[in-house]
Amino acid sequence: MSTTTSMNEQMEPKVLWLDRLLAVASSVGKRLAMPVVGFAAFLLLWSVAAQNIDTSLGKFPGPQAVWQQFGALHAEHNRSREKEAAFYERQEKRNAARAAEDPDYVPKIRAYTGKETFVDQIGTSLVTVMSGFFLAALMAIPLGIAIGLSRTLNDAVNPIVQLFKPVSPLAWLPLVTMVVSALYVTPDPIVAKSFLVSMITVTLCCIWPMVINTSVGVASIDKDLVNVSRVLRLPALTHVKKIVLPASVPMIFTGMRLSLGVAWMVLIAAEMLAQNPGLGKFVWDEFQNGSSDSLGRIMAAVLVIGFIGFLLDRGMLLIQRWVSWDKSNIAN
């Protein structure tokens, strides 16, 4: 084997280069082959099953019908954007004309109030989940660090965390809705009430895994590293910054990834339940709409929800790889 390669090398170096390229291609091919096969099998099963399911809204949508709906949703979005642009153009012209007649005229600018498209709903859901998630991180990580550092505080807070951790955030939803309605009463709201309700629900579900993972990460720091800090007499803040935080970054991120995954699932359900703008509302509206396209559109939404959830998780993993020193600890 080795003799043949070395002979090849001497006589035909170009062939060797080609060989290597082929080897790389085949290894990439091998890695991709099985996922492709799996996906194809899934599509096949789906289309066969779909053809055999008759609902009151027609046949269950197969891959092709869903693909069509993706196209339709996209076209709808484009049409809506054109309408919006046309609306603003008309408004501007009108205001310019009136201002020319009457110099004292203060132009009224009205916002476009068309129906949100699928793409708009995706945007709304993403913004909501991210804001709720960051709000939770802002509270949970410092709290988790404090609990991890202090046995006493842990004893005090842990029962509460354990009590609220298993509660589905959807149970909170009615309470959150009422509290937000009662307390958020400004004549000129910066954000919509519905946004606030969804966001707080997301926060409520993100906070517990983050608190628990952060505190466990902090509490399980190698004792020798803590001793290093004690020998150096590092001040408390430096201790947290230089030792505690970096040491618990892997665990903190595990908590963040967990909670972002749960948050995305919960948000969709919350939007459906509360009729708050977002992908959940899109699904519910389509269900209520009950046209022959509805199931296809819902299926399209399901795929998009799954894909976005996957991207969010991958995104967190990338950030975790980037900030964490412990590369061995990061699994898929």
Partner 1 sequence: MSTLLDISHIDMEFPTPKGSFTALQDVSLKIAKGEFVSLIGHSGCGKSTVLNVVAGLYQATRGGVILNGREVSEPGPERAVVFQNHSLLPWLTAYENVELAVKQVFGKSKSKPEMKEWIEHNLKLVHMDHAMHKRPDEISGGMKQRVGIARALAMQPEVLLMDEPFGALDALTRAHMQDSLMEIQAELNNTVIMITHDVDEAVLLSDRIVMMTNGPAATIGEILDVKLERPRDRLALAEDAEYTHLRSQVLKFLYEKQRKIEPLSPGAAASKKSDTARKASAA
Contact residues for partner 1, defined by CB under 8 A? 222-225, 227-228, 230-234, 238, 242-243, 246-247, 325-326
CA distances from 200 to 110, 207, 261 (A): 29, 10, 16
Instruction: Name the burial class of residue 179, with classes exposed (0-12), middle (13-18) and buried (19+) by CB atoms within 10 angstroms of its CB.
Output: middle
CA pair distance 56, 267, nearest whole angstrom? 28
Q: How far is the CB of 244 from partner 1 (least distance, A)?
A: 11
Least distance to partner 1 from the beta carbon of 141, Å?
A: 17
Instruction: Output the smallest distance, CB 214 to partner 1, in A.
Output: 17
Residue 192: φ, ψ to 5°: -70, 150
Minimum gap (Å) between residue 239 Cβ and partner 1: 11
55: which strand partners?
A: 58
Measure the CA–CA gap between 280 and 317, rounded to whole angstroms.
25
Q: Smallest distance from the beta carbon of 224 to partner 1, in angstroms?
A: 4
Query: In terms of CB distance, is 234 or 262 closer to partner 1?
Result: 234
Q: Pick the closer one to partner 1 by CB: 19 or 222.
A: 222
- Which residue, 225 or 265, has its beta carbon nearer to partner 1? 225
Q: How many CB atoms within 10 Å of residue 172?
A: 20
Collect all residues with Cβ–Cβ distance below 8 Å to 147 and sequence separation of at least 6: 153, 154, 157, 158, 211, 214, 215, 218
By beta-carbon proximity to partner 1, the closer residue of 64 and 238 is: 238
Of 195 and 253, the one with the shorter C-beta distance to partner 1 is: 253
